[in-house]
Amino acid sequence: MRGAVYQAVALLGVIAVGWFLVSNTLDNLSNRGIVTGFGFLERPASFAIGEVLAEYSPADTFARALYIGLLNTLFVSALGIVLATLLGATIGIARLSPNWPVRVIAGGYVEMVRNVPLLLQLFLWYALITQGLPGPREAIRLLPGVFLSNRGLVVPWFGPDGFTAPHLAGFNFQGGAAISPELAALLFGLSVYTAAFIAEVVRGGILAVPKGQTEAALSLGLSRRQALRFVILPQALRIIVPPLSSQYLNLLKNSSLAVAIGYPDLVSVANTAINITGQAIEGFAIVMAVFVAISLALSALMNWYNRRIAVTR
């Protein structure tokens, strides 16, 4: 009975604090003549977005602008998760290599990258791309039709007129598809930073598998690479997946730092909308709700996969 009373008192206290904060905020907004509510979402946004994955114009609504920002956030997060997983798994395995130089280089990468704030790394990659690469006229030709310059990476791609290859026209490239310096810096920074943490997760998962499993695999005639692929990693996945989920969520949330280098993600678009409408509480509430929803969905997906491999392995 005492425990139930304590819980009821705590719940009433939380409700009272919430009611006070909400009512006080509404009163202050009303005194300042600031209109509350989400009606601004139906008004024309009246601002352009530099990079879009769907049709958009300044005449579209704020809701459409936020949707474009959400698509950009999901796009860079999905690509970042894939790249960070591949790089992190490679580095994590390299840290266990019997080859001393490989092991030291992998260890140095992990210690250096994960101890430098991500925001500083984003600034560094953005500066290297925009100032360290040549202009479009002196662009580096990586492959036929693939050019790298301070305007970003351009590649052949399908457009409204079919498959087109980029070509220099004036001071920039036309045709194909371009990865802007902002997107490249954000994607590279997120992938490199998160890969350092994933590498430690992979290394820890492999070390948690009993050493006898490796010895048994080698005694059956398997090479070290085969033993790792067919015996060690399948068992280590049960240990790797739960902390790996946390790193994926961290990458998703860290994508909000895109606003610092000018990539139009959800947070950047929401900031612009807030500056125009003045409705900061509603804008930030939308962003928070979206990130919570995406994080819960990603967490549920990883939990489902974890249960699946726990049964099959």
Residues counted in the chain? 313
When pLDDT is averaged across residues 172-176 and rounded to a whole number, the result is 82
Q: Which of 30-39, 149-158, 207-216 has the lowest mean pLDDT?
A: 30-39
Distance CA 95, CA 102 (A): 7
pLDDT digits (tens, 9 = 90+) for 188-208: 999 999 999 999 999 999 888
Of residues 89 and 152, the one with the higher pLDDT is 89
pLDDT digits (tens, 9 = 90+) for 226-267: 888 888 888 888 889 889 999 999 999 999 999 999 999 999
CB-based contacts of 297: which residues, under 8 Å, 6+ apart? none
Model confidence band, residue 94 (pLDDT cutoffs 50, 70, 90): very high
- Whether the pLDDT of residue 312 is over 60: the answer is no
Q: Which of 5-19, 26-40, 218-232, 274-288 has the lowest mean pLDDT?
A: 26-40
SS3 147: strand
Q: Which of 55-64, 68-77, 99-108, 126-135 has the lowest mean pLDDT?
A: 126-135
**Assigned token pair, 313:** 């392995």
Distance CA 241, CA 229 (A): 16
For 287, phi then psi, to 5°, come to -60, -45
pLDDT digits (tens, 9 = 90+) for 280-298: 888 999 999 999 999 999 9
Instruction: Report the pLDDT value the prediction gives residue 273, as an integer from 0 to 100.
Output: 93
Chain-centroid distance, C-alpha 176: 25
Instruction: Report the pLDDT value the prediction gives residue 34, as an integer from 0 to 100.
Output: 67
Helix 280-312 / helix 266-277 crossing angle, nearest 10 deg: 160
Instruction: Supply the mean pLDDT for the chain.
Output: 88
Instruction: Report the pLDDT value the prediction gives residue 311, as an integer from 0 to 100.
Output: 56
Instruction: Report the pLDDT value the prediction gives residue 306, as an integer from 0 to 100.
Output: 84
pTM of the model: 0.86
